[in-house]
A and B are shown apart, each in its own frame.
Chain A
Amino acid sequence: MRELSLHILDIAQNSVTAGAKNISILVDSDTKTDWITIEITDDGKGMSEELVKKVTDPFVTSRTTRKVGLGIPLFKHAAEAAGGDFEIRSVLGEGTTVTARLRLRHIDRQPMGKLEETMAILIGGSPGVDFSLQMRHDGRGFEIDTRSMRELLGGVPLNTPEVLTWTREYIREKMNDLYGGADI
């Protein structure tokens, strides 16, 4: 994986597989503290304590639980390679939260990349799931969620091409505004 937004896509796909109906993605960065935090929360089926311990180990998980695999170890590695840390909290039957914290200016921190493409694939691929994306940078930010989109769209499905194009352009424009046109 070369972009943080690809990890987000992968982890959020796990949430979809876990039967989540609501998935929220938070990206919070601050140049003063030099941290970028990425948090993916879902209300899927959750994991037992035992499974949570196992999923970050690629050699255990890829053999026993095919549904989890390498995605989590790769994201954890990306966080730790950038001087950060990684945590999974999960309650069986309630949901899972995956949090990665990375040093914003670390030389080995992967760039965010095309998060708008990630969101378009998530929303287009699972139109029955509600997604929210919240991005904050140095105290400013924006939020987009499919719930308010649905309200405005009436019966028009979220995976309608025109809607996905709008979503992609909206997020890109907001990100350009938030990060001054640079990739974060």
Chain B
Amino acid sequence: MKSLAELAAIRDKMAQTMNLREENRDTDKIKIVVGMATCGIAAGARPVMNAFVDEVNKRQLKHVMVSQVGCIGMCRLEPMAEVFMPDGSKTTYVKLTDEKARRIVNEHIVNGKIVYEYTIGAAEK
């Protein structure tokens, strides 16, 4: 059985590693923003959001931030996510799933190759 006491153990573990962790400045970070309004949620944004967070954590990508945003305005293409690179470029991914989100982390975030087949450009052709 899980218990609240385990949180104290997490705290103690984090206290040891926290100082060692290199803090990146916000401007150096890659941002992944997931649409989390009614349209996004209804279309399946919850597993997409959790997949992004999980994959980023699994790979220990400290320079990546995953956050939420409201309706982006193209509800029929939800679940959507936008990837902002530190150089200011933006990629919009549409009709996402758990698996697509993981592939975007692996190919775009880690290897720097945009997954063109999932982008809004490919969907709207």
Shortest CB distance B25–A (Å): 18
CA separation between A6 and B37, bound complex, in Å?
11
Interface of chain A residues 1 through 29 with chain B (CB within 8 A): 1, 6, 9-10, 13, 17
The answer to whether A152 and B68 touch across the interface, beta carbons within 8 angstroms, is: no
Q: Which residues of A contact B18 (CB under 8 A)?
A: 156
Is residue B57 contacting chain A, with contact meaning CB distance below 8 A? yes
Is residue B20 contacting chain A, with contact meaning CB distance below 8 A? no
Interface of chain B residues 1 through 50 with chain A (CB within 8 A): 1-2, 4-8, 10-11, 13-15, 18, 36-39, 41-42, 46-47, 49-50
Q: With A13-B36, A125-B36, A169-B2 in contact, is A153–B7 under 8 Å at CB?
A: yes
The answer to whether B53 and A124 touch across the interface, beta carbons within 8 angstroms, is: yes
Is residue A69 contacting chain B, with contact meaning CB distance below 8 A? yes
The answer to whether B68 and A6 touch across the interface, beta carbons within 8 angstroms, is: no
Contact among B1, B11, B38, B50 with A69 in the assembled complex (CB-CB below 8 Å): B38
Count of A interface residues, CB-CB < 8 Å: 33
Question: Taking chain A's interface residues, is the majority helix, strand, or loop, or is none over half, making it mixed?
Answer: helix
CA separation between A17 and B15, bound complex, in Å?
32
Binding-face segment, A83-91, A93-101, A102-110, A114-122: A114-122
Chain B residues within CB distance 8 Å of chain A: 1-2, 4-8, 10-11, 13-15, 18, 36-39, 41-42, 46-47, 49-50, 53, 57, 67-68, 70-71
Known: A13-B41, A160-B14, A162-B13. 7 other contacts (CB 8 A): A6-B42, A71-B38, A117-B47, A149-B4, A152-B7, A156-B10, A166-B7
Chain A residues within CB distance 8 Å of chain B: 1, 6, 9-10, 13, 17, 66, 69-71, 74, 114, 117-118, 120-121, 124-125, 148-149, 152-154, 156, 160-164, 166, 169-170, 173
